[in-house]
Amino acid sequence: MPTEITRIDGPIRIFVPTGSLGAGAREEEIEEAIARGAHAIATDAGSTDSGAAYLALGISKNNRGSVKRDLTLLMKAAAKARIPLIVGSCGQAGGDANVDWTKAIALEVAAELGLRPRIAVLYSEQSKETLKARNAAGKIRALPPLGALDDATIDSCDHIVAVMGPEPYIAALEAGADIVLGGRTTDTAVLSCYALMKGAPAGASWHAAKVAECGAQCTTNPTAAAGVLISIDADGFEVQTLAPANHCNPHSVSAHMLYENSNPFLLAEPGGVLDVTEADYTALDPRRVRVTGSVWRPQPYTMKLEGAGRGRYQTLMLIGIQDPDILARVEEFHDKMLAALYERTRKTIGPAAGDFHISLRMYGWNAVSGDKPPPGTPAPREIGVLFVATADTQEMATQIAKACNPYFFHFPLDLDKELPSHAFAFSPADIERGPVYEFKLNHVIEVEDPLELVRTEWLDLRERP
Partner 1 sequence: MMATIKQVCRHVRSKNAGPFWVTIDLFFDGPENYRRYADSSALGPELMQRLYGADPRLVRRYPVPKLHMVKISYARTSVQGGEVERDMHCGQQYVRLLDVELDV
Closest distance to partner 1 from the beta carbon of 339 (Å): 18
- Mark residue 331 as left, alpha or beta (left: phi above 0; alpha: psi -120 to 50; beta: remaining): alpha
Q: How far is CA 136 from CA 55, 224, 306, 448, in A?
A: 25, 51, 18, 16
Contact 233, 200 (CB under 8 A): yes
Of 52 and 71, which has the nearer Cβ to partner 1? 52
Contact 437, 53 (CB under 8 A): yes
Task: Single out the segment in contact with partner 1 by CB under 8 A; choices: 18-26, 72-80, 402-410, 434-442.
Answer: 434-442
Q: Is 258 in the site for partner 1 (CB under 8 A)?
A: yes
Of 104 and 143, which has the nearer Cβ to partner 1? 143
What ranges in 198-247 are assigned the alpha helix state H?
Answer: 202-212
Task: Single out the segment in contact with partner 1 by CB under 8 A; choices: 130-138, 183-191, 206-214, 363-371.
Answer: 363-371
Closest distance to partner 1 from the beta carbon of 265 (Å): 7
Closest distance to partner 1 from the beta carbon of 386 (Å): 10
Q: How many whole angstroms separate alpha carbon 214 and alpha carbon 287?
A: 17
Q: Is 359 in the site for partner 1 (CB under 8 A)?
A: yes
Contacts of 137 (CB under 8 A, 6+ apart): none
Task: Single out the segment in contact with partner 1 by CB under 8 A; choices: 191-199, 248-256, 323-331, 345-353.
Answer: 248-256
Out of 223, 369, 421, 427, the residue judged to bind partner 1 by CB under 8 A: 369
Q: Is 436 in the site for partner 1 (CB under 8 A)?
A: yes
Of 58 and 84, which has the nearer Cβ to partner 1? 58
Closest distance to partner 1 from the beta carbon of 387 (Å): 14
Q: What is the β-pairing status of strands 272-275 and 266-269?
A: antiparallel
Contact 140, 160 (CB under 8 A): no
For CA atoms 338, 339, 344, 349, the dihedral sign is: positive
Q: How many whole angstroms separate alpha carbon 206 and alpha carbon 232?
A: 10
Task: Single out the segment in contact with partner 1 by CB under 8 A; choices: 152-160, 241-249, 262-270, 331-339.
Answer: 262-270
Out of 153, 390, 398, 399, the residue judged to bind partner 1 by CB under 8 A: 390
Of 3 and 359, which has the nearer Cβ to partner 1? 359
Task: Single out the segment in contact with partner 1 by CB under 8 A; choices: 130-138, 182-190, 261-269, 315-323.
Answer: 261-269
Give me the 20-39 binding string for partner 1, x by CB under 8 A, dash otherwise: --------------------
Contacts of 65 (CB under 8 A, 6+ apart): none
Out of 135, 241, 254, 315, the residue judged to bind partner 1 by CB under 8 A: 254
Q: Is 289 in the site for partner 1 (CB under 8 A)?
A: no
Please, how many CA atoms are within 13 Å of residue 264, restricted to the half-sphere of its CB? 8
Q: Is 260 in the site for partner 1 (CB under 8 A)?
A: yes
Q: How many whole angstroms separate alpha carbon 95 and alpha carbon 97?
A: 6
Q: Is 424 in the site for partner 1 (CB under 8 A)?
A: no
Contact 19, 214 (CB under 8 A): yes
Q: Is 62 in the site for partner 1 (CB under 8 A)?
A: no
Q: Is 342 in the site for partner 1 (CB under 8 A)?
A: no
Residue from 308, 281, 302 nearest 437 by CA: 308
Contact 83, 39 (CB under 8 A): yes
Binding residues (CB under 8 A) for partner 1: these are 48-53, 143-146, 251, 254-255, 258-265, 311-312, 314, 357, 359, 361, 367-371, 390, 436-439, 442
